[in-house]
Amino acid sequence: MAENQKEEKTLEEAFSELDVLADKLEDRETSLEDSFRLYKQGMGLLKFCNDKLDTVEKKMLQMNEDGSLGEFSR
């Protein structure tokens, strides 16, 4: 899959793909070579999800005590 297609994916789609990958990794019929490939693919999906969540977190707004909106901060 091309890198730009990954950016078009939603978090829900990525989580769904991770579920499928986890099922395949748990399957005793999956070869060791395939397991390594699936693991690498899963790690890429996890990075995508983490990056997407970081972006959302940065865009979040919180309401200040005076009712105005400000940037989300930890």
Number of domains in the chain: 1
How far apart (Å, rounded) are the C-alpha atoms in residues 20 and 35?
13
Instruction: Provide the β-strand partners of residue 55.
Output: none
pLDDT of residue 6: 43
Is residue 33 in a domain? Answer: yes
Is residue 4 in a domain? Answer: no
DSSP code for 73: -
| Mean pLDDT in consecutive groups of 10 residues from the start of the chain, 74 residues | 59 96 96 97 97 82 65 59
How far apart (Å, rounded) are the C-alpha atoms in residues 16 and 22?
10
pLDDT of residue 56: 79
Is residue 26 in a domain? Answer: yes
Is residue 24 in a domain? Answer: yes
Is residue 40 in a domain? Answer: yes
Return the amino acid letter for 46: L
Full-prediction pTM beyond 0.75?
no
pLDDT of residue 1: 46
Range of the domain at 55: 10-71
pLDDT of residue 55: 82
Is residue 1 in a domain? Answer: no
Is residue 5 in a domain? Answer: no
Work out the number of other CB atoms within 10 angstroms of the CB of residue 44: 14
pLDDT of residue 32: 96
